Amino acid sequence: MIPIKGYATFHQLKHCLLGKHFTSDYFTKHVSIPKVLDPLKRIADETEEDFQKLESILKEHGVTTYRPEFNEDNFNLIEEVHPPVTPRDHYAVVGETIYGTDGHRGMYESIFKNIDPSNTFIRDWEGSDQGSLLTTANICRVGKDIFWDYIVNDPSRFNNSNVEEIKSKWESEGFRVHISHRGYHSDGSFCVVKPGLIITLGDVQDYTKTFPGWEVITVPENPFDTLSDFYKVKKKVDGKWWVPGEENNLELIGFVNQWLNHWVGYVEETIFDVNMLSINENLIICNNYNKQIFDAFKRHNVEPIVFNFRHRYFWDGGVHCITQDLYREGTIETYIDY
């Protein structure tokens, strides 16, 4: 059975789930337009190549990895189904339990068959966005403290009783739960690298109150300023996605906008510099080089590993998004003094 445990984002990672996409053969069966088919096949092949590279990096550092197994022929291309590329967006391991909702379980059934049911908290909650309540895309674990962000201004999207149920459960297990309502994935806005160091965007929170005494490195919020090719396609895709080299491919743009809109996010608002995956306190996988961040790593004795997920601008997901840590060593320690 796959062990389940997670008390902090920087504890030693031992077991990790990696995403998976449909194969390029899948698109050959569903798409006949060459200018649509060829880039979709390229995305499929290069996404899988990058997953295998990331898997190799993790295994090299003693991490056991798992990939979802499913029959892609059971899924129609234009149905409201999202391939399991970003497992971080669907599940959360908090304490010794994996949390989530039934909405995406079909793609991950091969994983859950190997997890003890006593370590799972999977609910069939009604509402189109209930699944985003219980994910470590917006739940940050720092030992005793849990920082949980979700939207509350639209009652049709979230049921507050669900939130209270989970909050009470975590508090009964000894956690301090800090709730915020910014309404976006927090792993795209700040990263707790290790005790004492945070990488963040500006104005995310008042760190003097939430993480007193910690060093906070603020990165620029407009990375697309240096990506001139993105601006060639920005209006055509509403800032949601980008495949480099396909900025003038109107057939692909029209196809994705009409039929695969549920696959893409809103990449213009994603800052991949902060979307990182810690293997332990002194080793972290990041998407690209950033001098300011790397200088901070050096001060805190953190070794960075650069991993280029080539189609992060299509999937709206960095290295943290395309993984889901299942087991980290460590206990419910106190890292923040209030």
Residue 334 lies in a domain: no
Q: Cα–Cα distance between 45 and 15 in angstroms, integer?
A: 25
What is the residue type of 159? N
Indicate the pLDDT class of residue 15, thresholds 50, 70 and 90. Answer: very high
Residue 114 lies in a domain: yes
Rounded average pLDDT over 307-313: 93
pLDDT of residue 221: 65
Sort strands 97-101 and 120-123 into parallel, antiparallel or unpaired.
parallel
Rounded average pLDDT over 261-279: 85
Mean predicted lDDT score pLDDT of the chain: 89
Indicate the pLDDT class of residue 224, thresholds 50, 70 and 90. Answer: low
Residue 338 lies in a domain: no
Are 300 and 229 contacting, i.e. CB atoms less than 8 angstroms apart? no
pLDDT of residue 202: 80
pLDDT of residue 128: 45
Residue 79 lies in a domain: yes
Residue 198 lies in a domain: yes
Span of 11-25, 129-143, 287-301 with lowest mean pLDDT: 129-143
DSSP state of 221: S
Are 68 and 84 contacting, i.e. CB atoms less than 8 angstroms apart? yes
Per-residue pLDDT of 226-269, as tens digits, reads: 566 777 888 899 989 999 999 999 999 999 999 999 899 888 66
CATH classification of the domain holding 171 = 3.75.10.10
Q: Which domain holds residue 278?
A: 13-328
Indicate the pLDDT class of residue 164, thresholds 50, 70 and 90. Answer: confident
Indicate the pLDDT class of residue 103, thresholds 50, 70 and 90. Answer: low
Q: Cα–Cα distance between 317 and 21 in angstroms, integer?
A: 13
Residue 178 lies in a domain: yes
How many C-beta neighbours within 10 Å does residue 247 have? 18
Q: Cα–Cα distance between 201 and 130 in angstroms, integer?
A: 26
pLDDT of residue 297: 97
The answer on pLDDT for 105 being more than 80 is no
pLDDT of residue 220: 75
What is the residue type of 268? E
Domains held by the chain: number: 1
- Strand 13-18: give its sheet, edge to edge: 64-66, 13-18, 323-328
Residue 262 lies in a domain: yes
Per-residue pLDDT of 39-97, as tens digits, reads: 999 999 999 999 999 999 999 999 999 999 999 988 888 776 789 999 998 899 999 99
User: What is the percent of the chain with per-residue pLDDT over 70, rounded to a whole number?
Assistant: 90
The answer on pLDDT for 126 being more than 60 is no
The answer on pLDDT for 8 being more than 70 is yes
Residue 2 lies in a domain: no
